[in-house]
Structure 1
Amino acid sequence: MTVTAHRGEIFTLKDDPALGPDAIVHHLDGLLIIEDGRITDCGDFSALSPQLATDQHVTHHENGLIVPGFVDAHVHFPQMGMIASPGRQLMEWLRDYTFPAELDFADPDHCQAAAPLFLDALLAHGTTSALVFGTVHSQSVEALFEAALALDMRLIAGKVLMDRDAPAGLLESAADGYAASKKLIERWHHVGRLGYAVTPRFAPTCSDESLASAGRLLAEHRDILMQTHLAENLSECAHVAALFPDARDYLDVYARHGLLGDRSVFAHGIHLDDDAIKRLAEARSAVAFCPTSNLFLGSGLMRYEAMRKAGVPLGLGTDIGAGTSLSLLDTMAEAYKVAHLGGVVIGAYEAFYHATLGGARALHIDQAVGSLQPGREADFLVLDYAATPIMAQRMARAQSLEERLFILMMLGDDRAVRHVYLAGNPAPRLYARALS
């Protein structure tokens, strides 16, 4: 039995803060106790420290904040190398930048080299769990799972399914996509802390047969997820309407193939009317809110307030490489701005909820991660209140925890991530060392 203990200011959530202050857990001088990778207790240092052995080492994190590890609800592994590719909206951007980058993943050696760099960059930015797109190539997901397993990282991923409207090297038949996905599920799902997500790229690149094969996989494996894109761009929406003239709307394209349900995570969901949002809520399908990507590609502003009022589960997605940062602190800041333009203010507690417990709920991993409650896996961060001179100066004037959280999300990035722990163990920081 291995016991570790961490002392410092602690913030976590045990429910959606919109439900009231009882959802918020804050210990100004707190203690987190971990046994064999799981949290056994979290509370005030004065109350919990007497239960520690007299020779127990306690790691003290001063002038920082212990929080749950961040959960990225939508990110593309093969697109990290083409982040900041300028000058296009979605469909042209895919053609000119994304598809050429993804063709490189036909090479297994390329996949093996890229996977650890991608995961290391996630960790350096404080992301300890993620829902990830691979490419159409099985080896892209194999390499990603191998690297995540070596880190003991909680990760959900899937190979892309698409059989039209892309370069030949990124296409496969519906039957071949189904068979390859099934092999990956059987080999990797529930190995270590890994999970699988059926991954039709989106309706424009998937025939009815391809979408039906994704629905079949989802029906056959009751505890996997489904991830895809939905209503991101107006020209994309018009294209889907032309491709599927019998469908009620974009969402119905997925629904009629068995892809609308409580294990579905749809990225973006910008151009949806009230009825579509209502159907998402009724199905308990989640939406990954990707504000940096939506702004970068000029796609539009997600209807945040309408989603929240309807009860749609929301997580935050960096959506690299259309997104402009792997930092969920950055992503919280942009989500705040997008919602503000829509007439609603996202409070700091609410923003952190979407990046932690809310994101974990969207991915059905909230019983394992997303909160620092006893029984959860000990994935957590120490955020640095004085990571930059301007942050330190601003923090000196902060009057409350909520204000300090707001400063972290508006001014913070990977520099604010002082320490990262996976299942109670320090995560390697190759990315950070490479920058130093």
Structure 2
Amino acid sequence: MQSNTTQIKPSSIKGFRAQILHFPVASGSPKSDYVFFIDGLLVTRNDKIEFIGDYKTNINQYDNLDVHDYSGKLLLPGFIDSHMHFPQTEMLASFGEQLLDWLTDYTFPVENKFADTAYASAIADVFLRQLYRHGTTSAMVYSSVHKGATDALFQAAQQHNMLLMAGKVCMDRNCPPFLQDTAQSAQQDSADLINSWHGKGRSHYVITPRFAPTSTEAQLAALGELAQQYPSVFIQTHLSENHNEIAWVKSLYPERKHYLDVYNHYGLVRKGAIFGHGIHLEPDEWQCLAEKGASIAFCPTSNLFLGSGLFDLATAERQNIPVMLATDVGGGTSFSMLRTLGEAYKVCQLRGNQLDPMHGLYLMTQGAALGLGLEQQIGNLNPGTDADFIILDPLFDELSALRFKHHHTPQDLIFALSMLGDDRATVATYIAGKPVYQAPVAPR
């Protein structure tokens, strides 16, 4: 007789012992609203977090638990990078110009290579390896204009069950002919990619007009229709990064009252829309972002590198606009979210607004997840969330060992890591409970 019993796969349960730090809930005061275990235990079962707490008082509730002992190391939620350009991986650290010249001289020629899907696949692998070694476990990513390159990026991320948000760039004017699509092809290609990837595993699609100057009214209208048809997809584009860019937008869209109004007119400003930069905003633009529930990706390293300006974090937060940190590779100068946090601190210093290190950490973990509406999955270490986390070694070299010999608080630990740390501090990166990066062990 044939059995009706369903075969259940044995569960994989693992423990991790380390210092543990995270923000379990939404916070208006990250400086104090964190949980820290100096000797903590994190338990994962399959791809989810099952338990977090003090090690000594809780280890006995588990029999024969396989514990990875990272005592003295720091366990954090995986970092979330909210604005990146995967085709620009190879042009990182190209000699700086201001935004519009930089796009013409470097970005567009490099992105032409991504018409070759095999090339795009090879760079996608490099790109994701760089994320993992820097402790980034989720990212919102601009692909190139090529549909095949976007497929390649999603395919590479799915190999490690990574939560990836990405979209095909759409441009039908003011770019080289070899990178132009049309209003119709942008809408169709994006719709095809949504149907192929959005909600499949941990993949999320992002409608992606590069920025207003490279899209006609017809293309923005077509993408706005798509956003209305698929309300659960994300939207990403650029906003008020550079004074010349803003003047250009005004000349192209004279009937609109400001830069953001261009996007708003076509239905592209809503919750789930993430606008890169937002440095030079008018009062009405701040208000519109707040009313529509849209978010800003704060990209300090690229803002400094391209001479774009200093983002006003204090005003954004007074307006209750969600803000998240981002590297903006390759205008940004590092894949490291730790380095990005350090540069964000400096930007805020120049604006007379001190950024507490715990506040900065919040903007690349739980705060970012909340802005994306993904806090039930990523950004924290709460039981039931996906087991995306990283292990950092504060004593990663001689200088850091000297510096951390006298640290006393989690704030001090995070601040010094933001100034001294980079990928050398990453011991291991776990995505959905499985290691995707482990630092090589130095020979003794």
> What TM-score do you get using the length of structure 2 for normalisation?
0.95
Say if 2:30 and 2:358, in contact at 8 Å, map to a contact too: no
Partner of 1:48: 58
Counterpart residue identity of residue 28, structure 2: A
Unaligned runs of 5+ in 2: 1-10
Counterpart residue identity of residue 197, structure 1: V
CA distance in 2, matches of 1:321, 1:287: 18
Counterpart residue identity of residue 341, structure 1: L
CA distance in 2, matches of 1:46, 1:22: 24
Partner of 1:127: 136
Distance of aligned partners of 1:428 and 1:46 in 2 relative to their CA distance in 1, 3 Å threshold: closer
Question: Secondary structure at the residue paired with 1:262?
Answer: coil
CA distance in 2, matches of 1:37, 1:51: 20
Say if 2:80 and 2:137, in contact at 8 Å, map to a contact too: yes
Partner of 1:404: 413
Return the offset for 1:20.
6.2
Return the offset for 1:85.
1.1
Counterpart residue identity of residue 382, structure 1: I
How many aligned positions are there?
Answer: 432
Say if 2:20 and 2:40, in contact at 8 Å, map to a contact too: yes
| Residue 23 (str. 1) matches residue 43 (str. 2) | no
Return the offset for 1:295.
0.3
Name which of 133, 156, 163 aligns with 1:154. Answer: 163
| Residue 59 (str. 1) matches residue 68 (str. 2) | yes
Partner of 1:101: 110
Counterpart residue identity of residue 95, structure 2: P
1:103-149 deviation line (CA, Å, top 9, x unaligned) = 00011111111111110111111100000000110011100000000
Name which of 332, 347, 368 aligns with 1:359. Answer: 368
CA distance in 1, matches of 2:70, 2:437: 18
Counterpart residue identity of residue 36, structure 1: N
Say if 2:270 and 2:292, in contact at 8 Å, map to a contact too: yes
Partner of 2:5: none
Task: Report 1:344-355 matches (<5 A).
Answer: 344-355=353-364
Counterpart residue identity of residue 234, structure 1: H
Name which of 35, 43, 52 aligns with 2:45. Answer: 35
Comparing 74-83 with 354-363, greater Cα deviation is found at: 354-363
CA distance in 1, matches of 2:336, 2:77: 14
CA distance in 1, matches of 2:414, 2:46: 30
Counterpart residue identity of residue 255, structure 1: N
Task: Report 1:354-433 matches (<5 A).
Answer: 354-428=363-437
Return the offset for 1:322.
0.5
Counterpart residue identity of residue 247, structure 2: A
CA distance in 2, matches of 1:110, 1:66: 35
CA distance in 1, matches of 2:103, 2:396: 36
Name which of 285, 288, 293 aligns with 2:297. Answer: 288
Name which of 253, 260, 279 aligns with 2:262. Answer: 253
CA distance in 1, matches of 2:337, 2:175: 30
Partner of 1:8: 18
Say if 2:39 and 2:71, in contact at 8 Å, map to a contact too: no
Partner of 1:306: 315
CA distance in 2, matches of 1:202, 1:62: 46
Counterpart residue identity of residue 43, structure 1: G
Return the offset for 1:64.
1.0
CA distance in 2, matches of 1:161, 1:67: 35
Question: Secondary structure at the residue paired with 1:5?
Answer: strand
| Residue 171 (str. 1) matches residue 176 (str. 2) | no
Name which of 76, 85, 88 aligns with 1:76. Answer: 85
Question: Secondary structure at the residue paired with 1:157?
Answer: strand
Return the offset for 1:22.
6.4
Partner of 1:145: 154
CA distance in 1, matches of 2:57, 2:39: 10
Return the offset for 1:16.
4.4
1:77-113 deviation line (CA, Å, top 9, x unaligned) = 0001011111310000000000000000011111111
Question: Secondary structure at the residue paired with 1:64?
Answer: strand
RMSD: 1.4
Q: Give aligned-pair identity as a percent.
A: 42
CA distance in 2, matches of 1:201, 1:11: 36
CA distance in 1, matches of 2:31, 2:59: 26
CA distance in 1, matches of 2:311, 2:177: 33
CA distance in 2, matches of 1:190, 1:47: 39
Q: Show structure 1 runs of 4+ deviating over 4 A.
A: none
1:213-249 deviation line (CA, Å, top 9, x unaligned) = 1111111112100000000000000000000001010
| Residue 92 (str. 1) matches residue 101 (str. 2) | yes
Partner of 1:212: 221
Question: Secondary structure at the residue paired with 1:49?
Answer: helix
> What TM-score do you get using the length of structure 1 for normalisation?
0.97
Return the offset for 1:294.
0.3
